[in-house]
Structure 1
Amino acid sequence: MNEFTPEGWKMETPENRAAFQSASSLADACRDRQILEGRAVICDSSHNLVVDCGCMRGLIPREEGAIGMNDGSVRDIAVISRVNRPVCFLVTGFQKNEDGKTIALLSRRAAQELCMKEYVSTLVPGDIVNARITHLETFGAFADIGCGIVSLLPIDMISVSRIDHPRERFSVGMDITAVIKAIDNGRISLTHKELLGTWEENAALFSPGETVAGIIRSVESYGAFVELTPNLAGLAEIKEGISPGQQASVYIKSIIPSKMKVKLIIVDTFQYDYRPCAPDYFYHEKHMDRFVYSPESSEKLVETVFTSS
Structure 2
Amino acid sequence: MTEFLPEGRRLAYKENTAALQSARTLMQAAVSGAILEASCTVCDAEHNMHVDLGCMKGIIPRSEGAIGIESGATRDIALISRVGKPVCFRITKIDETGSEPLAILSRKAAQEEADREYVSKLTPGDIIGARVTHLEQFGCFVDIGCGIASMIPIDAISVSRIVHPANRFSVGDDIFAVVKGRDQGHICLTHKELLGTWQQNAERFAVGETVPGIVRSIEDYGIFIELAPNLAGLAELKSGIKVGDCVCVYIKAIIPEKMKIKLIIVNCCDDGCVPLEAPYFITEGHIDRWVYSTPDAPKYIVTDFSE
Class of the TM-score when normalised by the shorter of the 2 chains: over 0.9
Contact 2:152 2:190 in 1 (8 A): yes
Identify the residue that residue 227 of structure 1 maps to in structure 2: 226
**Percent of aligned positions with the same letter in both sequences?**
57
Letter in 2 for 1:167: A
Pick closer, same or farther for the CA change 1:299–1:278 going to 2, 3 Å: closer
Q: State which drifts further: 108-117 or 268-277.
A: 268-277
Contact 2:212 2:274 in 1 (8 A): no
Identify the residue that residue 73 of structure 2 maps to in structure 1: 73
Structure-1 separation of matches of 2:32 and 2:273: 45
Pick closer, same or farther for the CA change 1:304–1:2 going to 2, 3 Å: closer
Q: State which drifts further: 26-35 or 270-279.
A: 270-279
TM-score by length of 1: 0.95
Cα RMSD for the two superposed structures? 1.9
Identify the residue that residue 237 of structure 1 maps to in structure 2: 236
Structure-1 separation of matches of 2:275 and 2:227: 14
Q: Paired residues, what number?
A: 307
Identify the residue that residue 108 of structure 2 maps to in structure 1: 109
Pick closer, same or farther for the CA change 1:247–1:184 going to 2, 3 Å: same
Letter in 2 for 1:10: R
Q: Once the 2 structures are TM-superposed, how far is the Cα of residue 41 of structure 1 from its aligned partner?
A: 1.1
Structure-2 separation of matches of 1:272 and 1:170: 21
Identify the residue that residue 190 of structure 1 maps to in structure 2: 189
Report the 3-state secondary structure (helix = DSSP H, G, I; strand = E; otherwise coil) of the residue aligned with 1:161: coil
TM-score by length of 2: 0.95
Structure-1 separation of matches of 2:238 and 2:221: 11
Structure 1 ranges of 4+ moved more than 4 A: 270-279
| Alignment deviations for residues 35-90 of structure 1 (CA, whole Å, 9 cap, x no partner) | 00001112122211111112111110111111111112222221111111000000
Structure 2: runs of 5+ lacking an equivalent: none
Report the 3-state secondary structure (helix = DSSP H, G, I; strand = E; otherwise coil) of the residue aligned with 1:3: helix
Contact 1:141 1:166 in 2 (8 A): yes
Q: Once the 2 structures are TM-superposed, how far is the Cα of residue 286 of structure 1 from its aligned partner?
A: 1.5
Map residues 203-282 of structure 1 onto 2, 5 A cutoff.
Answer: 203-270=202-269, 280-282=279-281
Structure-1 separation of matches of 2:133 and 2:275: 15
Structure-2 separation of matches of 1:184 and 1:29: 35
Identify the residue that residue 45 of structure 1 maps to in structure 2: 45
Report the 3-state secondary structure (helix = DSSP H, G, I; strand = E; otherwise coil) of the residue aligned with 1:235: strand
Report the 3-state secondary structure (helix = DSSP H, G, I; strand = E; otherwise coil) of the residue aligned with 1:93: strand
Structure-2 separation of matches of 1:17 and 1:275: 38
Letter in 2 for 1:162: R
Structure-1 separation of matches of 2:277 and 2:171: 12
Structure-1 separation of matches of 2:18 and 2:277: 30
Q: Once the 2 structures are TM-superposed, how far is the Cα of residue 275 of structure 1 from its aligned partner?
A: 9.6
Map residues 1-309 of structure 1 onto 2, 5 A cutoff.
Answer: 3-96=3-96, 98=98, 100-270=99-269, 280-307=279-306
Structure-1 separation of matches of 2:71 and 2:274: 39
Letter in 1 for 2:197: T
Letter in 1 for 2:283: H
